Structure 1
Amino acid sequence: MSRRTSVYDLASRKGQRKWLQLHVDNAAEAAAAVEAGIEILSCEPDHHLEFIRKAAPMAFLSVGMPHGAVASREEAIRLGFRMLERGADAVYCSHSPRFIEAMAREGIPVTGHVGLVPNRATWTNFRAVGRKPEEAVAVMRAVKALENAGAAAIEVEVVPVELADHITRNTPMITMGMGCGSACDTQYLFSSDVLGTHAGHYPRHAKRYADFMALEAALQERRVEAFRAFAADVASGAYPEAGHQVAMGEADFERFLTLSQAP
């Protein structure tokens, strides 16, 4: 697009297209995502945020509000506006609907979360949520609570495909699907899972398209090799060579000695 993707753009094309979405960790990943045609990004509100925004000026950017960062509606509103000022197009919030409603009433686009919500996983453990009818009803009630609070979008994580499809068809919110098949409005993954940047657990819905751990290990070996070669050259006198330093003419140096001894 020739302008930044907006909430209106996403909402007006709900049910008409599948949007690609990535959670990125830095500006390099954001730039690569944009070049690959991915129009929806998410990130943390850390020191990378402004650089990510600059690297992806036209992308729709949902920025996470740290869970527990606010303890009142006023604090939520204040932090929400601050995140918009820093470049967010929407504020991801896993707090209760009362905080989301407070921000939404001020025109702050908010992304809610249902299903497997990592910040609340003590209540569910890290597993698929909504397989049983009673639990699926609870998920749907949570969806409606967020919808009624005014959320613009909702992350739907690791729920059955049938439930994710039902949610998507029965809410005006933009559904951001992770581990829900292809039922939601966006197909959402973390760049760290796509790129293989970590040695930790990879969830069932993740698919690695690269092995950056191996690439980084190879780069680290090259770093060590280069540093050892540098150290060896210094020890042997091979570095620095004449071309690596600046020389002072003999006459100029003598003049310096004379001047330095003057009273």
Structure 2
Amino acid sequence: MTMRDGRPSVADIRAMKAAGQKLSMLYVTTPDEAAAAAAAGIDMLSIEGRFFDAAMREAAGRCFVQVGLPYGPHGALVTAEDYLRAAFAFMRLGGDCFYCAASLEIQKALCDNAVPVVAHVGLIPSQCTWTGGFKAVGKTAGSAKAVWDHVKRLEAIGCFGAELEVVPDRVAEVIARSTPLIMLGMGAGAGADAQYLFAEDVLGYTPGHKPRHAKTYRDFAAEYRRLQQERIGAFREFIADVRTGAYPEPCHAVPIADAELEGFLAAIGR
């Protein structure tokens, strides 16, 4: 497979789906997480626009990067022009596709300008008041059909993919097999095209509630607690050294020759 700059293109990702290749995807917030994902061989990264810059793109290496365009009360984007301007700016930084949970009209405006758009179906956190809060969507025939219809509308406007969140696995499998969109599954079972988790869940330092679909592979929370105690201990030792005069030592100070010091003292009348 030919890849530009060593990383997949939209066409490559579509070819992977067509070949039945299951993709791995992580949400990351720091260059260290992005670099670790790249070194491990993660296929796709999700990075919010507020975290995405040249350093993050470099750290992401060969990973295909989805940049999240800010939406709703937490974002400053309102009009289609706002979204286009932001998408083009992130594209210049090396974004590969762009998450957009705004209206169908705004998503279409992005698609019409050849921006690879990833939408959101099923449980959409920013809009979950309409579906009853943070709970599964698609558990009834009518609700599942509504998810299907949403996907078909996204197909019609030219979206590249969609996050498929907390939808019954058998419904998700039917949808993923029946659409050209790349379905990024988060709590949607094994039939999705990609399995999408947050790095904080994988590494075990999720603050607050951990989703049912999350799987933890390392206990970073314990390590962070240990490091915090080490910080406190180091700071206490520093305080003690300051109070007793153990810090600073001569090696921490800038020396001056005796003659120069005498000259300085004479200059100030001391």
TM-score normalised by structure 1 residue count: 0.94
Query: Are 2:59 and 1:49 equivalent residues in the alignment?
Result: no
- Paired residues in the alignment total 261
Counterpart code for 1:167? I
Task: Determine if contact 2:118/2:162 at 8 Å carries over to the other structure.
Answer: yes
Is the contact between residue 43 and residue 49 of structure 1 (CA under 8 Å) also seen in structure 2?
A: no
SS in 2 for 1:34: helix
Aligned partner (choices 227, 241, 247) of residue 233 of structure 1? 241
| Alpha-carbon distance in structure 1 between the residues aligned to 2:127 and 2:22 | 28
Does residue 81 (structure 1) correspond to residue 85 (structure 2)? The answer is no
Where does residue 19 of structure 1 map in the other structure? 23
Which AA in structure 2 matches 1:160? P
Q: Hey, what does 2:7 align to over in structure 1?
A: 4
Task: Tell me the alpha carbon deviations over residues 98-127 of structure 1, each in whole angstroms, 9 at most, x when there is no partner.
Answer: 111100111110001101110111011111
Residue 90, structure 1, aligned to residue 93, structure 2: no
* Aligned 8 A contact 1:23 1:42 in 2: yes
Cα offsets for 1:46-90 (capped at 9, x unmatched): 145332211013211101111234332222222221221233111
The Cα shift of 1:260 comes to 4.8
Contact conserved, 2:29 with 2:51, CA < 8 A, in 1?
no
Residue 14 of structure 1 aligns to a residue whose secondary structure is: helix
Which AA in structure 2 matches 1:107? A
Within the candidate set 53, 68, 71, 2:78 is matched to 71
**Aligned-partner Cα distance in 2 for 1:171–1:251:** 83
Structure 1, residues 171-203: CA drift from partner, whole Å, max 9, x if none? 111111111111111111011111122331001
Q: Distance in 2 between matches of 1:47 and 1:210?
A: 23
Q: 1:176 to 1:239 in 2, by over 3 A?
A: same
Determine whether 1:106 maps to 2:110.
no
Please give the alpha-carbon distance, in whole angstroms, between the structure 2 residues aligned to 1:78 and 1:251: 64
Instruction: Note the C-alpha offset of 1:131.
Output: 1.1
Q: Which structure 1 residue ranges, 4+ long, deviate > 6 Å from structure 2?
A: none
Partner SS for 1:128: coil
> 1:237, CA displacement in angstroms?
1.2
Partner of 1:138 in structure 2?
A: 146
> Is contact 1:27-1:48 (8 Å) kept?
no
Measure, in 1, the Cα distance between the counterparts of 2:53 and 2:201: 20
Residue aligning to 1:205: 213
TM-score, normalised to structure 2, is 0.92
Q: Match for 2:170: what amino acid?
A: E
Gaps of 5+ in 1: none
Are the counterparts in 2 of residues 199 and 213 from structure 1 also a CA contact under 8 Å? no
CA RMSD of aligned residues (A): 1.5
